[in-house]
Structure 1
Amino acid sequence: MGELVDFFIRSRHFILFVLLEVLCFYFIINTSNYWGVTYFNTSNRYAAKVLAWSNAANEYARLREVNADLALENQRLNAQITQLLQSKPAAPAAYQADSTFAKRFKFTVAKVLNNTTQLANNYITIDKGTDDGIRPGMAVISPTGLVGKVSVCSPHFSYIISILHSEFLVSSRLVKANEIGSSKWDGMNPRLIKMIDVRRDKPVEKGDSVVTSGFSLTFPPGILIGRVRTTGVQPNQTFHDLTVDLATDFSNLAFVYVIENLLQPEQEKLEKQIEKEK
């Protein structure tokens, strides 16, 4: 306490000077309209800047929470869209899928913890595992398109084989051309993928959407893979040479959705039973 008193005593002239300056400034503002208006406008301008910086900092701090909320909302919307597509498949008008079939896909949102894009065989790690109902073989998509397939699980984490993997192959369909083929990464550009086994007698246009065909127990039909970037013909082959822009930006992947086919065990059991009887 004594040191504080000593400080004020030593600095009494400077403190008095500051108090007098403040008092003069106060009188100038209150006795002159010009300086009063100038002070008011200047103070408001700087106060607005400080408030804008404060709001920007608060919004940035809430981005993680906002992203998580958006991921949950996308999970709900993906489930509704898939259910709608399954209830009205591309089939004769007389066909009507039952409610169980239409609701066969379940979506679980997960956060990406690790992700590679420059290897020959790329992988992704997410923060959901067997305790969350995740198991090997489940499909994985992003808010914009296909991602890969679950390979290995622990109670709290899962290891996903990315579509950017030398052994990943998915049955695909060209929307406009209505032609079935397969999508496979050639190990070159992480933004591009090849679509193979599309017959050359079928016309293919640039910009045509490539989606999952539905001929799979893993992926729901209609999941966007990408759009045709270039078309050509493989030398001495009867197939198109198609390069596709991937719909998913793997360099900026934050959340994914793991898809469970609730009817997959039943279908697999039936198919295995038929194979044994042949």
Structure 2
Amino acid sequence: MRDLFAFIYRFRAFLLFVLLEILCVYMVVRYNTYQGAAFFNSASTYVGRVLEVQSSVTDYFRLASVNSILARENAALREQVLRQHLEEQADSTAELSGMLYAASDSMMASPYILHASRVINNSIRRTNNYLTLSIGSADGIKPGMGVIASTGAVGRIKTVSAHYATVTSLLHSQMLVSAKIKKDNTMGTVKWTGGDYRTALLDYIPLHVKPVVGDTIVTSGFATVFPEGIVVGTISSVEQEPDRSFYTIEIALSVDFAQLSYVYVVESPLREERETLENNAGIIPHDQ
């Protein structure tokens, strides 16, 4: 307290000057219309700028939660798209067969469930690449589920803990994706052979087919990992080698693995039933 009084006494002249200045400004603004309007307009401008900066800072720290909400909303919308695609397939089958056909209630009610998740770790330059997701068994995630992004197929769930999951990336030497050329449904297998993370190979396309650069490659739906019609990439080159009975086709992957931030884990409620049936029948599963 003594130091405070000493400070006030030392700067008493300056403090008195500041106090009188404030009093003068108040009186000028209070009793003069023009000066009062100018003051409040200027004050409003500066206050608005301060509030704008404050809002920007607040919004920045809320980006994570906002992105999470948007990802969940996108997952719900994509579920609707997949359901609509299934309905269109049913209608198409009915028209082709000339008979009454309806997909089962269980398939129509819940063909796929999408779980939005943030990518918290990712590699693209190794021989075998993986991702880590901030979602786990507590959210219903199980090994073997497919993972997609807004632009296409990403990989398959490998291991799961309560709150995290690892994903075998499409950029993995052992990862095979059952795919087809969209325009004519010719079946093939997509695999990554290393090197450029933006390209992969489409194998087992026979020579009587006429693939061209620009053709879209999508998942076949024959495996239980990915729904049918998820984009994998587009053909970037086609070569016919004399000693092979299949084309050598390079595709440009639709997913930019270097920029992945949010993905969707695909849950198929009927997947286990189908896999159990096929295993019991001794049927060799398609490429995943």
**TM-score, structure 1 normalization:** 0.86
Question: Where do residues 177-188 of structure 1 align in structure 2 (5 Å cutoff)?
Answer: 177-188=184-195
Structure 2 residue aligned with 1:120:
127
Structure 1 residue aligned with 2:261:
254
Q: Which amino acid aligns with 2:268?
A: N
Contact 1:113 1:126 in 2 (8 A): yes
Change in Cα spacing, 1:203 to 1:36, as seen in structure 2 (3 Å) is farther
Q: Give 1:143 deviation, angstroms.
A: 2.7
Q: Which amino acid aligns with 2:93?
A: A
What 5-or-longer segments of structure 1 have no aligned partner? none
Q: Which amino acid aligns with 2:231?
A: L
Change in Cα spacing, 1:207 to 1:25, as seen in structure 2 (3 Å) is farther
Q: Give 1:164 deviation, angstroms.
A: 0.8
Change in Cα spacing, 1:41 to 1:194, as seen in structure 2 (3 Å) is farther
Structure 2 residue aligned with 1:67:
67
The worse-fitting range, judged by mean Cα deviation, of 249-258 and 118-127 is 249-258
Structure 1 residue aligned with 2:84:
84
Contact 1:87 1:99 in 2 (8 A): no
**TM-score, structure 2 normalization:** 0.83
How many aligned positions are there? 275
Question: Where do residues 172-251 of structure 1 align in structure 2 (5 Å cutoff)?
Answer: 172-228=179-235, 230-236=236-242, 237-251=244-258
Contact 1:233 1:239 in 2 (8 A): no
The worse-fitting range, judged by mean Cα deviation, of 86-95 and 67-76 is 86-95
Instruction: Give the match's secondary structure for 2:281.
Output: helix
Q: Give 1:156 deviation, angstroms.
A: 3.0
Structure 1 residue aligned with 2:286:
none
Contact 2:112 2:269 in 1 (8 A): yes
CA distance in 1, matches of 2:160, 2:87: 31
Structure 1 residue aligned with 2:56:
56
Alpha-carbon displacement from aligned partner over 1:175-196 (angstroms, at most 9, x marks no partner): 2243222211221222222222
Instruction: Give the match's secondary structure for 2:282.
Output: helix
Contact 1:125 1:159 in 2 (8 A): yes
What 5-or-longer segments of structure 2 have no aligned partner? 284-288
Instruction: Give the match's secondary structure for 2:151.
Output: coil
Q: Give 1:67 deviation, angstroms.
A: 0.8
Question: Pairwise CA RMSD of aligned residues?
Answer: 2.6
Contact 1:123 1:159 in 2 (8 A): yes
CA distance in 1, matches of 2:200, 2:125: 14
% same residue = 36
Pair 1:2-2:2 in alignment: yes
The worse-fitting range, judged by mean Cα deviation, of 77-86 and 232-241 is 232-241
Give 2:145's match in structure 1, choosing from 138, 163, 169: 138
CA distance in 2, matches of 1:137, 1:189: 26
Alpha-carbon displacement from aligned partner over 1:115-166 (angstroms, at most 9, x marks no partner): 1111111101123333333222111112332110111223332221000111
Q: Which amino acid aligns with 1:58?
A: T
